[in-house]
Amino acid sequence: MSNVYIAPSILSADLARLAEEVAAVESGGANWIHVDVMDGHFVPNLTVGAGLVAALRRITELPIDVHLMVERPEWYIAPFADAGASVFTLHPETTAHVQRHLDQVKACGMLAGLALNPGTPLDYALEVIADLDLVLIMTVNPGFPAQKYIPSATNKILRARQLLDDHLSQARLEVDGGISRSTIGEAHRAGADTFVAGSAIFGSDNPTAEVQELRRRCFQVV
């Protein structure tokens, strides 16, 4: 089970009880804390910035996994690195110089990720695969929490796993959107190893136990 990473998304946490919420998922064995950053342009929602990452860094030693759903993500690489982010994932549609910015992410000491929306071809990842530490397959259209997993995403996860394996890439394969007890096993069997879950964890009665249960469901025999 050590290769399965669970990354609770604080988009669904109670920010007024942030330290308590983070401590609960840490107790359950969470591997990363996931932060969704939205600018109201690339996606129709506004969320948090580097200040929240800095606040998280003061209360946890877990890696902070930042997903930038913003235009011009290059403007935010250094600020998020300075705030304590560990992983910085951008969307290829948001900038003209993806490879350059992946290099900048690494130069700032973070892992570099590329996020692919449901309608974004895997070829975007192929062109920069040597530069990637993470590929994020969006299993919903991004912008809002508590959406339903898109069934066709499973095939894309399968193809992404094959792409990484064919190129001997050590990049993690992350999925985000509608991940719950009923979907995480399917995504894991398709080849994903890192799972972002927000409402499934923080909307449960016991976030600590829910992290553990989601990990267990990855290995449940069907």
Q: Identify any residues that bridge with 69 across adjacent strands, giving them in sequence order.
A: 38
Number of other CB atoms surrounding residue 48 within 10 Å:
17
- Whether residue 74 contacts residue 104, with contact meaning beta carbons closer than 8 Å, is answered with yes
Q: How far apart are CA 209 and CA 181, in angstroms?
A: 12
CA atoms of 31 and 49, how far apart (whole Å): 21
Q: How far apart are CA 138 and CA 149, in angstroms?
A: 9
Rounded CA separation 201/51 (Å) = 23
Catalytic residue (one of 39, 65, 131, 176): 176
Q: Would residue 36 show up in a list of annotated catalytic residues for this protein?
A: yes
Q: Tell me, what DSSP letter sits at residue 53?
A: H
How far apart are the C-alpha atoms of 59 and 72, rounded to whole Å? 29
CA diameter of the chain: 45
Q: What's the rounded Cα separation, in Å, for the pair 197 and 220? A: 18
Kindly name the residue from 36, 65, 131, 133 that is annotated as catalytic: 36
Q: CA–CA separation, 86 vs 43, rounded Å?
A: 23
Q: Which residues are catalytic?
A: 36, 176
